[in-house]
């Protein structure tokens, strides 16, 4: 047992240096105000007050949460049927379909998002296809729809793979037992398949919603600066404006929101399995 605990030391050191220390520095920046000298600073909550009293920032925060919700709902609506179909296929077909879903993820997400600029731009492939239906003059790029499309495209595989994993782990003899007891396919799905797939659904929602709510380069590229989300605000404060303290405060607000959402997800998963929180 002691040997196993010693093997964990490198990971603990890495976690402290790469996760705990940066978060501690961001938390410190968020509650301090630089003074006249390099080593002098004062404790203040002015940055948090500025964020929560400025309606523009609150609107951007709500917009970020809302588009993340829409992204998650669309990914779930598309991903569950796809994952269910894959889980019902044979082993070779499953391997091929899972590979087809994961192959695009081998390419950098930034490169994949850049590809959509060419597809959605004026005179691009998508607009040409819409032109056959008399919709060629519709503006596609630099709109909320383009941002939503980019997020769904990039995050959909996470939803499909999580749900598919949960469905593949399901014991098919339970469906046979349900059929023997007189359940039709719809009842078997509602009473057996759906409840057993909830852990995969919850994991998929987590893996889609959290990166969607904090994404900054997808709205920057496909929104063209016209569609500003909270991730763009944080990037702007750190890189363009140079207000690290205020940017750190916004980052801490988003970190708290994400932790609260993860706690809600954990509670939902425990409720699904009928478990109780450990005291």
Q: How far is CA 96 from CA 81, 100, 217, in A?
A: 17, 6, 31
Domains of the chain in sequence order: 67-228 (1.10.3720.10)
Model confidence at 78: pLDDT above 80: yes
Length of the chain: 279
Tokens of 46: 């002015």
Model confidence at 114: pLDDT above 50: yes
Q: pLDDT tens digits for 203-212? A: 999 999 999 9
**3-state secondary structure string across 130-155:** HHCCCCCCCCCCCCHHHHHHHHHHHH
CB 79 within 8 A of CB 154: no
The residue-averaged pLDDT of 3-19 equals 78
Model confidence at 2: pLDDT above 70: no
Cα of first residue to Cα of last residue in the chain, in angstroms, is 25
Instruction: Quote the CA–CA distance of 113 and 87 in Å, as a whole number.
Output: 29
Model confidence at 227: pLDDT above 90: no
Q: pLDDT tens digits for 94-107? A: 999 999 999 988 88
Q: Which residue has the tokens 């007050």?
A: 49
Q: Which of 12, 48, 54, 3 minimizes the C-alpha distance to 29?
A: 48
Instruction: Quote the CA–CA distance of 208 and 76 in Å, as a whole number.
Output: 9
Q: Which of 17, 16, 49 minimizes the C-alpha distance to 33?
A: 49
> How much is the pTM?
0.86
β partners of residue 41: 34
Instruction: Quote the CA–CA distance of 217 and 74 in Å, as a whole number.
Output: 20
Q: pLDDT tens digits for 146-201? A: 999 999 999 999 999 999 999 998 888 888 888 888 888 888 888 888 988 988 99
Choose the weakest-confidence range: 30-39, 60-69, 139-148, 218-227. Answer: 30-39
Tokens of 12: 């603990």
Tokens of 180: 């023997």
Q: With H, G, I as helix, E, B as strand and everything else as coil, classify residue 32.
A: strand
Instruction: Quote the CA–CA distance of 247 and 233 in Å, as a whole number.
Output: 8
Burial class (CB in 10 A: 0-12, 13-18, 19+), 4: exposed
Q: Which of 179, 221, 229 minimizes the C-alpha distance to 67?
A: 229
Instruction: Quote the CA–CA distance of 239 and 242 in Å, as a whole number.
Output: 6
Kindly state the DSSP code that residue 54 receives in the 8-state scheme: -
Sequence-distant (≥ 6) Cβ neighbours of residue 184 within 8 angstroms: none
């Amino acid at each position: 047992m002691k040997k196993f605990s010693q093997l964990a030391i490198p990971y603990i050191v890495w976690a402290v240096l790469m996760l705990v220390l940066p978060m501690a520095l961001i938390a410190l920046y968020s509650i301090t105000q630089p003074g006249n000298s390099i080593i002098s600073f004062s404790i203040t909550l002015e940055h948090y007050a500025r964020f929560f009293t400025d309606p523009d920032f609150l609107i951007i925060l709500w917009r970020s949460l809302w588009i993340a919700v829409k992204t998650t709902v669309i990914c779930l609506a598309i991903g569950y049927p796809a994952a269910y179909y894959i889980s019902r296929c044979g082993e070779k077909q499953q391997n091929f379909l899972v590979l087809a879903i994961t192959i695009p993820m081998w390419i950098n997400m930034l490169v994949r998002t850049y590809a959509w600029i060419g597809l959605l731009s004026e005179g691009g492939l998508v607009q040409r296809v819409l032109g056959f239906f008399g919709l060629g003059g519709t503006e596609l790029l630099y709109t909320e729809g383009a941002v939503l499309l980019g997020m769904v495209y990039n995050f959909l595989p996470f939803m499909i793979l999580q749900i598919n994993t949960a469905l593949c782990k399901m014991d098919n003899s339970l469906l046979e037992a349900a059929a023997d007891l007189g359940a039709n396919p719809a009842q078997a799905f509602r009473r057996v398949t759906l409840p057993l797939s909830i852990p995969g659904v919850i994991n998929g929602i987590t893996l889609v919603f959290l990166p969607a709510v904090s994404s900054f380069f997808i709205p920057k590229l496909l929104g063209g600066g016209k569609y500003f989300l909270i991730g763009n605000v944080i990037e702007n404060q750190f890189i363009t404006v140079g207000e690290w303290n205020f940017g750190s405060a916004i980052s801490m607000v988003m970190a708290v929101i994400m932790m609260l959402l993860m706690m809600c997800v954990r509670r939902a998963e425990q409720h699904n399995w009928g478990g109780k929180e450990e005291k």
